[in-house]
Amino acid sequence: MPSVFDTYQGWIEREIKKQKFGKDPASLYEPARYLMRLGGKRLRPMLVLLSYSLFKTDIKRIVPYAVAVEAFHNFTLMHDDIMDNAPLRRGKETVHKKWNVSTAILSGDVMLVKVYEMFGTLPAEDLKAVMKAFNTCAANVCEGQQWDMAFENIQDVTVAQYLNMIKLKTAVLLGFSLELGAILAGASEENRKSLRDFGTNIGIGFQLKDDLLDAYADPEKFGKQVGGDILANKKTYLLIRALERASGKTRQELLHWLAAKKLSKKEKVEAVKSIYDVLGIPDDTGKKINQYFDRGFTSLKGVQPKTTANQRLQEFAKALIARQV
């Protein structure tokens, strides 16, 4: 017998296949269909359904709105890949590589239009609250992406600035996903806020864990190059904390590897990780990750009533937290 998660996943995938995004010109709409069907964890629409299930049982009714959140997420990925000049997404060619940059920009734009069209079918009593929450979230995501790009040219990024950036760029969309389910279920303002805070805090924890895994994951399981952030001198939590802590010879060595142009990739990754180890950065990062996860689950405790659906949401989140890839 399939689990509840399998059932929800099946509903989400079937709804995605139903969404055509448009017909002509095919070169505008096919990239959107291509990206949506590349797969992925479908984390955000799953959170919408799990949140709704805390209060109501007619879950299938809101699947199209859950998929609207996934469409928005994929719109951001399409444009992020252009900005990062990324060649691959989920192991396949990115849209701007498979087609071209101009097509990817326009196809991303039409995906965002489609999201508004999907939300436009909401019952009148839900529409205003959903659009207010969604517009706030969407603006935050753009702000976070802009900060991420700006950090490339800022020498001294603080931990507080970095945490705010990942909150905006990544975490608020998880918070919105959970809040959306609560809004559609007619939940109280208190429950809406508790679920939004839960999603935002675990979202920050997830991003910090991604930072840690990028440096320390098992290459066999990780599915992409380990140490990519180190090679790119990306200002992750790990690097920012290392620059804060390093002094004397250790600092000189770290700055040497950050400035080096001609180098062995493997040598740089191992050297920087050795510095991180000396400075206690992995342990520090782990503590910060757990701090945000704990903060998230504390918020979830405020959601009433306590049901098996509440336990399911916790189970789903804990399974994601435990992942090593």
Q: Mind giving me the DSSP string for 262-284?
A: S--HHHHHHHHHHHHHHHTHHHH
Predicted local distance difference test score (pLDDT) of residue 88: 85
SS3 assignment, position 89: strand
Query: Cα(41)–Cα(308) distance, rounded to whole angstroms?
Result: 23
Predicted local distance difference test score (pLDDT) of residue 220: 65
Predicted local distance difference test score (pLDDT) of residue 20: 86
Rg of the chain (C-alpha set): 21
Residue 310, CA distances (Å) to 50, 54, 81, 171, 317 in order: 8, 6, 35, 20, 11
Which amino acid type is present at position 302?
A: G
Predicted local distance difference test score (pLDDT) of residue 91: 82
Structural domains of the chain in order of their starting residue, each with its CATH number: 1-121 (1.10.600.10), 128-325 (1.10.600.10)
Query: Cα(165)–Cα(208) distance, rounded to whole angstroms?
Result: 12
Predicted local distance difference test score (pLDDT) of residue 175: 98
Sign (positive/negative) of CA torsion 313, 315, 316, 317?
positive
Cβ 233 vs Cβ 261: under 8 Å: no
Cα separation of the two ends of the chain: 27
pLDDT block averages, 10 residues each, the chain of length 325: 89 94 93 92 96 96 98 96 88 93 96 97 96 98 97 93 98 98 97 98 96 86 73 95 97 95 89 97 98 97 87 93 73
CA 236 to chain centre: 15
Predicted local distance difference test score (pLDDT) of residue 224: 55
Buried (b) or exposed (e) across 84-107, using 16+ Cβ within 10 A? eeeeebeeeebbbbebeeebbebb
Predicted local distance difference test score (pLDDT) of residue 112: 97
